[in-house]
């Protein structure tokens, strides 16, 4: 009987010991699994954090490039607008990728049994960095938009000033042309000389006055032949060679504004005061013999 009781006690003790061993084995397996999950979470986190930091560095480089390019535009130097737009698109693409990586890490840590406090705090720091970069990008976009508006306003003003300058140039040219035409007209005169017969035959003069054909004098016709006259500039025309026995003016000019150079012949007419000489008539007709 004693042997039977001893045997039962031994079996019972062995059974209890076996249960403890299994319980300890399960606990060890659970701890090992937790360690594996923790290591995996850390590895994923470090990899994602490295990629996020590289993206942030790339964004900073692209931002600097955009600022240099936009500065070139604001200073009037040529720049590739498409390149700026492409750089901005790259920044937005990298920022979106960072946000997706952070959200992915947050979900992985939330579903993992490995609750690593340091990783959670690191994710918060990364999220703040991304939010700060968002604010910087928004400021950069605002600067670019303002630069675009200022550049458009500047271009509009330049176009207005150019158009205004062209109008002023056209007005000045028109005025200069008018003044030139008026100056030419003011200084233009016409002369003709010849015998009485030549002057009459060429429809420059006609006889008038007198009585019964006696005492008639020559005067310039109203409908004279303009083509027979020679045009001159009174500023340059101060002497005309005649080489005639006699010479007299048919048209009226102040006697103190000219004189004849005479010797054996009337050599020339000299205009001493052009402004006074041409004041009463811009046509000069001289009858010579």
Q: What is the pLDDT of residue 212?
A: 57
pLDDT digits (tens, 9 = 90+) for 57-90: 777 776 677 666 666 555 545 455 667 667 777 8
SS3 at position 80? coil
Q: Which residue has the tokens 């959200």?
A: 103
Give the pLDDT band (50/70/90) at residue 211. Answer: low
Element (H, E) at 288: strand 283-288
Best CA proximity match to 74, nearest among 141, 154, 157: 154
Rounded mean pLDDT of 216-236?
93
Q: What is the pLDDT of residue 31?
A: 40
pLDDT digits (tens, 9 = 90+) for 19-52: 544 554 554 454 444 444 555 656 666 666 677 7
Say how far apart CA 59 and CA 90 lie, in whole Å: 8
Mean pLDDT score of the chain: 76
CA angle (71 as vertex; 67, 72 as ends), nearest 5: 120
Residues 6+ apart with CB under 8 A from 258: 269, 270, 271, 272, 273, 277
pLDDT digits (tens, 9 = 90+) for 84-138: 667 777 877 877 887 887 787 777 766 654 455 666 777 777 778 878 877 877 7
Six-digit token pair at 8? 């039962």
SS3 at position 4? helix
Rounded mean pLDDT of 1-12?
44
Is 154:81 a contact under the CB 8 Å cutoff? Answer: no
pLDDT digits (tens, 9 = 90+) for 138-156: 787 777 777 665 666 666 7
Q: What is the pLDDT of residue 78?
A: 46
Give the pLDDT band (50/70/90) at residue 235. Answer: very high
How close are the terminal C-alpha atoms of the chain, in Å? 189
- Residue 131 CB burial class (10 angstroms; 0-12, 13-18, ≥19): exposed
Rounded mean pLDDT of 174-195?
90
Say how far apart CA 208 and CA 206 lie, in whole Å: 7
Say how far apart CA 152 and CA 159 lie, in whole Å: 10
Best CA proximity match to 119, nearest among 131, 97, 104: 104
Give the pLDDT band (50/70/90) at residue 188. Answer: very high
Say how far apart CA 179 and CA 185 lie, in whole Å: 10
pLDDT digits (tens, 9 = 90+) for 250-270: 999 999 999 999 999 999 999
Say how far apart CA 241 and CA 144 lie, in whole Å: 79
Say how far apart CA 166 and CA 168 lie, in whole Å: 5
Q: What is the pLDDT of residue 72?
A: 58
């Amino acid at each position: 009987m004693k042997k039977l009781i001893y045997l039962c006690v031994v079996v019972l003790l062995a059974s209890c010991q076996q249960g403890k061993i299994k319980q300890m084995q399960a606990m060890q397996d659970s701890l090992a699994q937790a360690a594996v999950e923790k290591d995996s979470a850390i590895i994923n986190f470090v990899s994602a954090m490295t990629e996020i930091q590289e993206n942030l560095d790339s964004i900073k480089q692209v931002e600097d490039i955009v600022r240099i390019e936009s500065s070139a535009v604001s200073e009037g130097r040529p720049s590739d607008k498409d390149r700026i737009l492409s750089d901005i698109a790259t920044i937005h693409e990298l920022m979106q990728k960072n946000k997706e990586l952070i959200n992915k890490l947050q979900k992985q840590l939330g579903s993992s049994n490995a609750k690593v406090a340091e990783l959670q705090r690191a994710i918060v720091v990364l999220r703040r960095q991304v939010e700060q970069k968002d604010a910087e990008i928004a400021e950069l976009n605002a600067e670019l938009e303002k630069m675009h508006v200022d550049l458009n306003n500047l271009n509009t003003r330049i176009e207005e000033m150019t158009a205004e300058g062209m109008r002023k140039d056209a007005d000045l040219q028109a005025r200069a042309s008018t003044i030139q035409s008026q100056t030419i007209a003011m200084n233009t005169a016409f002369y003709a000389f010849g015998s009485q017969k030549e002057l009459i035959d060429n429809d420059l003069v006609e006889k008038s006055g007198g009585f019964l054909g006696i005492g008639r004098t020559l005067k310039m016709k109203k409908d004279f032949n303009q083509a027979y006259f020679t045009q001159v500039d009174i500023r340059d025309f101060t002497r005309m060679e005649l080489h005639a026995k006699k010479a007299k003016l048919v048209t009226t000019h102040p006697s103190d504004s000219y004189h004849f150079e005479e010797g054996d012949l009337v050599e020339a007419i000299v205009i001493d005061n052009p402004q006074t000489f041409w004041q009463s008539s811009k046509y000069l007709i001289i009858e010579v013999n």
